[in-house]
A and B are shown apart, each in its own frame.
Chain A
Amino acid sequence: MPALIETRDVSKRYGSFNALSGVTLAIAADEFVSIVGHNGAGKTTLVNVLTGLLRPTSGTVTFKGMDVAGVGPVRLARLGMARAFQLVHIFPGLTVRQTLAVAVVSQTGKAFHFLTSLARDAQVQERVEAVARLFGFEQLDLEARSLSQGAKKLLDVASAFALRPEVILLDEPTSGVSTGDKHQIMRVLVDAAKSFGVKAIIQIEHDMDLVSEYSDRVIALHQGQVLADRPPAAFFGDAELVATVVGKRRVRD
């Protein structure tokens, strides 16, 4: 399967500090990849490089064969990559409907439609409602700022999905959410990906239960380098590896 995202020997140096060194990986369609590692291992730096926010000091990053080093967020969205951050970003004064509409308007290329009515645009409203349904939003006309913290997070992720990206990168999509909800969110993510034709999901995740249950590939970073790149079973089977990466021995039931 041809790679969607590829990095070749990527390094990111800040002065004498190596945030990333020699990272070479390829992510193809139908992969759900979890990037793990403890704080400072380089996970966020890697995602920033993958999404073109940071230029690597050396090495290349390509998306569908195109060099994406330093590409801005707007071009990123147009190329087919969407991203949600760990810190929840919402449009406080916009409703759920409007938030999702922003993404759909971008994706349908209607940003310069000046005089048509958004509310009466069937194409946009259908897509907005489809995304909302999947993510469990029933009241679309509530202002984003009035939602619970968990709902805000979900909306943030939902708006990324509403872009119908080919690849979606999520930074700790379940952080700050109760355990019961975590699994629900993961299931929604997988369903959404299937419904919207998202070809690959890449997430940074700390919760190892979720990693083992939902992802089909684990990339473990340690001190800026890829320590392991293997399926969950193989990853978790290696207790030493898990301890190094996660920082403590994982207790299995």
Chain B
Amino acid sequence: MTSFLDILLGGVFHAAVLFLVAAGLQLVFGVQKIINLACGSFYALGAYTGISAVTWALAHGLPRGLFLFALIGAGLGLAVIGPPVEALLRTVYRRDEAFQLLLTFALVLIIEDILRMIWGANPQELGNLYMDYGTVGKGALTVPTYNLLVIAAALLVAIGLGLFLKRTRFGRLLRATAEDRETSATLGIEVGRVYTVVFTLGTVLGTLGGALVVPTAAASLDMSVDLVVEAFAVVVIGGLGSIRGAVVGALTVGLMRAFAVSFVPEMEMLSIYLVVIAVLIFRPAGLFGKAAA
């Protein structure tokens, strides 16, 4: 019988990873009004690349205790795919939303096979490497230190993003472009460059999330499509375009899943969908969202 605190912390860990991916979604939607169905694919890409990066690094002399840096490096390094993907999406910005969704759906198909090509169809994992960091606490209340590190990292990202958007010049540029694309362009803001940066940032958040999760979970091809639904639940509950909403939404989804799995397993995802439907009906803008129904 796992203790209440165990479930709680498990939920918060899941929420931390979800938050990273959802924050990426929110940024991209907030500025470019695109819903990226391939967010789960980036997440999976981060996971697989993370595993390869760690395996390679360890084989080339990296001390075991530093594997986290290999993961972070993998997540950040995948930023290179941001600009080309954004350039592709740029061709359909001005068109009907359906086309944007379909283009990102096409990416889901393409990336899944790329993953299959490079890593094969079997799930991959890192074994118990993360336990090298030991655990915190004693007795019934022990938590792997790694998990706490990830939660802390997510928190840092959340705070960092908030500060970035509110305090820095580029953050303000971003918010201006999100508010009004045309006016921003006439004010001299290079909208194209902003879009590239935002999309890349969104991509990296996703790949980082995937990289950070692999020590505790296997990387599988299903990851990409399974995560999309959870990420969407997060942004619907939190409100489209809001980072704060991503935090609250991620916690809601993460905790609900954790408790459902422990007490009523059949309701695991069902409960989340019911909450999503309820939010969409009673408060379509979500808890912090700006978009109107």
Q: Please tell me whether chains A and B touch each other in their complex, using a CB distance cut-off of 8 A.
A: no
